[in-house]
Structure 1
Amino acid sequence: MSSPDAQSVARSDRRRARTRQKLIDAARGFLRSPDYGERSIAEITEAADVGLGSFYNHFSGKEELFAAAVHEVLDEHGVLLDATAPSADPDPAERVAVAIRSTARLVITNVEMAHILAAQGMAILDSDTGLMPRARRVLGAGIASGRFTSADPELLLTAIVGALMAALHQWVRTPSRVDESWCDELAERLLVLCGVPAGEAAALAHAPL
């Protein structure tokens, strides 16, 4: 059995973890809006139902908190992409198609995440988690194997991410215009951009997920 002191430390650690997560959860709520950076620490702690003095036990400032919240969302997006990725010896084009469709369809399957990614915009390109490292690997493999057009993978990555962020922005502005078919057609066009023949691109983009 653990000692009373060890139990006390464990309880304290759990309380700290809960407080930190409450702050991150509150920050995620603000991240849904592009002007989240204008929120004050007092607003954040009020939303988290955490004392103002407790904030600095976990974060040096709101910038660090928002960075942690974004990182958490991107990690969750990465887990989603891994869960939906084809498993057995996947075709790079199929993986790209599924990743694009899964990300675009967040507007239907995970509205909070869609809002947060839309608010991040092209800053996503600077991320080292979530979509970016996975897309780099798949695009690089597709180019190396000849499946995709011979191009700088960063160029294709910029085009794909730019299109996805534009799609999410379009959804924020006019939700009624973006549905599953719209998301699938976006994937089809981007596969063609990568050099996949039009017929194959259409089949991959409209296959059951």
Structure 2
Amino acid sequence: MRLLESAMIVFAQKGVGASVIADVVEAAEVSKGSFYNYFRTNEELFQALAAELNRDIVRMIQVAISNVEDDPSLKVATAFRCYLHLIRSHELVAQFVAGAGLQLVNRDSGFYDYLPRHLRAGQRRGQFNDGAVGTMIDVVTGAGLMAVHRMVAGGTSRRYPEQVVGLVLGALGVTPQDIPRLINFPVPELSVSPDSLLARAQGSAFAHDAIQQTPDRAVE
């Protein structure tokens, strides 16, 4: 876990294409031998980090929306808003996600367990278009990643996540009349476990020195 939280900080600073093993070893205060007990390459380290972060985020969102009424479009909209607000509130994670981009999106991601069933359920109820679910996921994930880039760059409004989600819902086939209900539903509080990778990396004492840029403070 120390290696992974150090890796998130270094990847956020240098970019996911950089060779970071020496920096991660130094930041985690372990030997190179200890590092190679767990990971053989830069890519293995990144893949492990991405998998752990995805699990953390999906788990938190699933718990947060577990009490949301049985309405597929509302669950999709609320989960998407939870994700964007979570990323915005964690500067280090936002930097990492913005840098990693599409490399975070793969079939092993928990998002591919969560999204398809709710999208299909919404199609059966006539809430979403009858298009291919894979294409719908591309729309959601693509918009989400671009939204993270915009938030990191700065200057977005407090309602920016809702604006993004509203437009995506429209692209998925939700009627204009129903979109305000979905994007104005109260966002459940996300409980971030102090033992999670997200919390440990964000709270590391050296994170503030490692990150050169921070996500925007939302403007009114």
Category of TM-score, reference length = shorter chain: 0.7 to 0.9
Structure 1: 5+ residue runs without aligned partners? 1-20
Aligned residues: 187
Partner of 2:169: 191
What's the CA shift string for 1:41-86, capped at 9, x where partnerless? Answer: 2221001100122211121222211211111110111112102214
Counterpart selection for 2:180 from 197, 202, 205? 202
Listed as ranges, the matches of 1:119-158 within 5 Å are 119-158=99-138
Q: Is the 8 A contact 1:97 1:187 kept in 2?
A: yes
TM-score (norm 2): 0.77
Q: Is the 8 A contact 1:28 1:70 kept in 2?
A: no
Structure 2: 5+ residue runs without aligned partners? 188-220
Partner of 1:115: 95
CA distance in 1, matches of 2:62, 2:86: 15
Deviation at 1:182, TM superposition (A): 0.9
SS at match of 1:97: helix
Corresponding letter in the other structure for 1:176: G
CA distance in 1, matches of 2:114, 2:150: 24
| Alignment partner of 1:41 is 2:39 | no
CA distance in 1, matches of 2:14, 2:110: 20
- Structure 1 runs of 4+ aligned residues shifted over 6 Å read none
| Larger relative helix fraction | 1
Corresponding letter in the other structure for 1:143: Q
Listed as ranges, the matches of 1:82-101 within 5 Å are 82-87=62-67, 89-101=69-81
Q: Is the 8 A contact 1:74 1:129 kept in 2?
A: yes
CA distance in 2, matches of 1:83, 1:35: 31
Deviation at 1:33, TM superposition (A): 4.4
User: Greater CA deviation, 111-120 or 133-142?
Assistant: 111-120
SS at match of 2:178: helix
Q: Is the 8 A contact 1:106 1:113 kept in 2?
A: no
Greater RCO, 1 or 2 (C-alpha within 8 Å, sep 6+): 2
TM-score (norm 1): 0.81
Change in CA separation of 1:160 and 1:88 when aligned onto 2, cut-off 3 Å:
closer
Q: Percent identity?
A: 26
Larger radius of gyration: 1
